[in-house]
Each structure stands twice: as structure tokens, then as C-alpha cells.
Amino acid sequence: MRLLLINHRYFVASGAERYLFNIERVLQRAGHETAVFSIDYEQNRSSPWSSYFTKPIGKADQVYFDEHRSDPGSLGRSLGRLFYSREVERDLARLIEDFRPDAAYLILFLRKLSPSVLVALHNAGVPIVVRVSDYGYLCAEHHFLRNGESCTQCLGGRLLPGVVHGCVHGSRVISALDAAATWYHRRQGYFDLIDRFVTTNPFLTDFMVRGGFDPARLACIPTFADEEIFAAGAGGPGKYLLYAGRLDPSKGLETLIEAMAILKRRPGDPPKLRIVGGAQYEDYQKALVRRVERAGLADCIRFERPVAAEDVAGLLGNATASIIPSVWFENLPNFYLESISAGVPVIASDLGSLSAAITDGEDGLLFETGNATALAECIARLAADPALDRRLRTAGPLKAKAQYSAERHLELLTDLFAEVIAQGRDLASLQSGSSRAKAVLE
């Protein structure tokens, strides 16, 4: 198949981009032809399709809203992208004309590319499949978080609570603009142009249905870890705890740091922790570093820059356990799948997709969300129980192979593409036949 991949970034800034590059690699490896449409950022990876990429909202090195809001011109273009962009529509139409895709697979496009991408694809008769990478279709804040705690007031399609609480960038004004854009998109019927939504786990599927989406348009295809990169090792005691992912308040890193402080106060040598990842806002990362220093943990916790997937595999090879202390529902994170594929025990918060995916004590450990003492107990329990460690290291790869393999993901996804392509051809044929009949009658 000829498949067009669309995402507003072509460099790794979150799990969505990790997935983008993973699926691009796996599709090409299986013999499918792919093209990419994105924004022309300075940080992008090299692509033969970059000449088609649309202009950034601000400067080429400015990716995030806070970098745009200080410049009136960039702020104006950002507001335009929030609702609809003719420029993006024209740029994508040019790529569609030259590449002639059989179907399009969209990951992140709202707010930075706008639903204009849906219109360009629909006008060209290209079937549209959208992967739901977070809760942005249901929650303006995207994580169902308010003041660090779960909040589902907007789940039924309501827009007002997000405005009242200033959920978008902590501003009621910006939240009102975001709500107005969402209302406009719904009124114009842009989301009706999407043939299928791909959810990554049953928890997310249930939320989408509760949010008003037709179950018939939802296909649950779990994210995968590439077994050619993340193969299970021989196992062993490991040298450090590992967190690999975005540094963000939703990730619960404060809980992890507090748990490390609890462990250090106990007799014996405290464990080491490597935190690998970058922050969208530099001030937040600095605040985490200061928290570590104030707790006297600088000799136990090391912050490291984000790395490629292949390097995460290397880090997992010597890890005692992977820690996922998120305070939001998560969306079956890549780091969880990579860890169990590599045979590394996972200790995670007991909510959302993580709680649904992990059977406590059998293929991972769960702790009460936000409870640093409970997290410390899980870490200590794993270190003191070699039989538990072996059980988790054995169960993880078996689960990954059965449920989260690249082969299974590719089969389900390409079957879905084939289905929407066939439906599109049937509809085109029906419309053509109707037009011919109409012409004869006239």
C-alpha cells in the first residue's frame, strides 16, 4: 500500500512521535511505501518529503505555544491554526497529488495543523484513519487532569468546565478560544470525515464511547514494541531503576523522587535511578533537579537527555525495574511495552490504561497513584524477592509477544487500511453509478 503518515512533528518530542517512527519503520520493512506530512521544524529528522512540509507557526526552532505567545505575529498564526488553515490544506493537497496515497494515517494534527488536513484528504478521496494518542478529543487539557488530579467533567462532550477552570495553559482566555475552536470543528462536521479512529487500549476505547463516539468507528489496535530492538535478555539483578519518557507534571516524577528519599532513609545502600528524557518547559526540569538536591539524592538520581529507541533498549538491558509513576490515565505508553518486551519488571501507577494492562504480582507491580510510600514498598519488595523478579521477567516477554508484537500490530493496522480503502472504492463506484443514472434520466 501507499500510505501517507501525518503528524505535526517529525522529531521525537513525545510518545506519539516514538510511535510515528516505529510504525514508519515497520511499514517500510513490510514492503509498504510511505510518505510523511508535517511542519518544517528545525529539529526534524531528515525526510525525502520535507519539501512538502508546511511552514511553522513561528520560527523554525519554535515548537510550543509558550514560544509563540510572546510574538504577536506568531500568536495570530497560532490562533489561525487553532481553527482552520488554508495554507496547510494547500501544502497537503500538493503532496497528495504527487504521492497518490491509498490511505492516510494521522497521529497528532489538531491545534498545529488543524482539521484542514481532513478536508484536503477528503477532497482527494483519500480514506482517513486517525490514531488517538491522548485524550484530546474528550478533554481540552488532553490528560483529564486538573490541579494534578483526575477530572472527567468534560467527558460527555462538555466544553464549559475547561473554560471555567482555565485548563488550557492555565488561562481562561486561551481555554475559551480552544473551546470555540472545538465547537467550530464539531459544527462543521470535520470529525465526520474520519473513517476510523484507532485506540490503543480498551480503557481508551471505553472513554471514547462514553464521550459520544460511535463504537463502529473505533478500532482497538494496541501499540507495539519492536521485538527486533527490544528483545528479552538473560535477566539478572540489574544496576539501576529506570524512567524513560517526557518530563512533565502528568508523569508523577515528584512521587518517584519522594519514594527514592524514603528508600535512602532506610538501612543499606539506596538504589540508583536514571531519569532519561526531556521537558517541554525547562523550568520544570530545573524544579525537579532542585527537588532532588534538596532531598539529598544527587548521588542516587541522575538526569539524562532523551535517547533514541535503540539506546532505550541498551538502558533496559541493565535495569532492575522500569518505573511509570504517572498521575494521568496514560495511553499504553511505549516505555511500558518496551520494558516488558525486554524482560524488565514494571512498577506502575494503578490507574487508567496501566491498571487495565498490568496484573499485579503476575506481570508487573501496581501501587496507589501518587503514594510515594507505596511506590517505595514495591521497589523494596522486588529487590528482596528474587522469585518475584524472575516471575515478572518471564511473564513480561510472553505477554508482549502475545499482545503487543509488531507483527500483530501491523496485521491489524493493514487490515484496517484495506477495509477503509475498499469501502472508499465501493462508495466512489456507487456515487459514479448514481451520477451516470442521473445523467441518463436528465
Calculate mean pLDDT across residues 282-311: 91
Least confident of 70-74, 131-135, 176-180, 234-238: 234-238
* pLDDT over threshold 70, residue 70: no
* pLDDT over threshold 50, residue 436: no
The predicted pLDDT at position 440 comes to: 40
**Better pLDDT: 430 or 349:** 349
pLDDT confidence band for 20 (50 / 70 / 90): very high
Residue 356 CB coordination number (10 Å): 16
C-alpha cell, 286? 530545573
- CATH, domain range 227-397: 3.40.50.2000
The predicted pLDDT at position 364 comes to: 96
* Contacts of residue 273, Cβ cutoff 8 Å, sequence gap at least 6: 240, 241, 242, 243, 256, 260, 300, 301, 302, 323
| Mean pLDDT score across all residues of the chain | 91
Across the strands, what pairs with 58?
Answer: none
The predicted pLDDT at position 432 comes to: 53
C-alpha cell, 245? 519518557
User: Helices 372-384 and 253-264, interaxial angle, to 10°?
Assistant: 60
The predicted pLDDT at position 156 comes to: 87
- 2-225+407-440 CATH, one of 3.30.420.40, 3.40.50.2000, 3.40.140.10, 3.40.50.620: 3.40.50.2000
What letter represents residue 430's amino acid?
A: L
C-alpha cell, 116? 484542514
* pLDDT over threshold 90, residue 72: no
Calculate mean pLDDT across residues 188-195: 96
Q: Which residue's entry shows cell 529539529?
A: 43
The predicted pLDDT at position 398 comes to: 94
C-alpha cell, 238? 540489574
* pLDDT over threshold 50, residue 439: no
Residues of the chain above pLDDT 90, percent: 77
Calculate mean pLDDT across residues 313-336: 93
The predicted pLDDT at position 229 comes to: 87
**Better pLDDT: 61 or 397:** 397
Calculate mean pLDDT across residues 285-304: 95
Least confident of 98-107, 144-153, 342-351, 352-361: 144-153
The predicted pLDDT at position 427 comes to: 67
CA distance 8 to 106: 9
Q: Collapse the DSSP code of 360 into the 3-class scheme (helix H, G, I; strand E, B; otherwise coil) and give the result.
A: strand
Most confidently predicted of 23-32, 221-230, 270-279: 23-32
Q: Collapse the DSSP code of 270 into the 3-class scheme (helix H, G, I; strand E, B; otherwise coil) and give the result.
A: coil
- Residue intervals in the chain for CATH 3.40.50.2000: 2-225+407-440, 227-397
The predicted pLDDT at position 61 comes to: 82
* pLDDT over threshold 50, residue 92: yes
Q: What is the SS3 string spanning 101-166?
A: CCEEEECCCCCCCCCHHHHHHHHCCCCEEEECCCCCCCCCCCCCEECCEECCCCCCCCCHHHHHCC
Calculate mean pLDDT across residues 167-188: 93
Q: Are strands 145-146 and 149-150 parallel, antiparallel or unpaired?
A: antiparallel
* pLDDT over threshold 80, residue 135: yes
Q: What is the pTM of this model?
A: 0.88
* pLDDT over threshold 50, residue 31: yes
Across the strands, what pairs with 347?
Answer: 323, 365
C-alpha atoms less than 13 angstroms from C-alpha of 270 in its C-beta half-sphere: 19
pLDDT confidence band for 69 (50 / 70 / 90): low
The predicted pLDDT at position 62 comes to: 81
Across the strands, what pairs with 2?
Answer: 33
What letter represents residue 194's amino acid?
A: I
CA distance 134 to 146: 16
Calculate mean pLDDT across residues 206-228: 93
Contact 260, 271 (CB under 8 A): yes
Question: b/e per residue, 286-313, with b = 16+ CB within 10 A?
Answer: ebbeebbeebebeebbebeebeebeebb
Calculate mean pLDDT across residues 320-331: 95
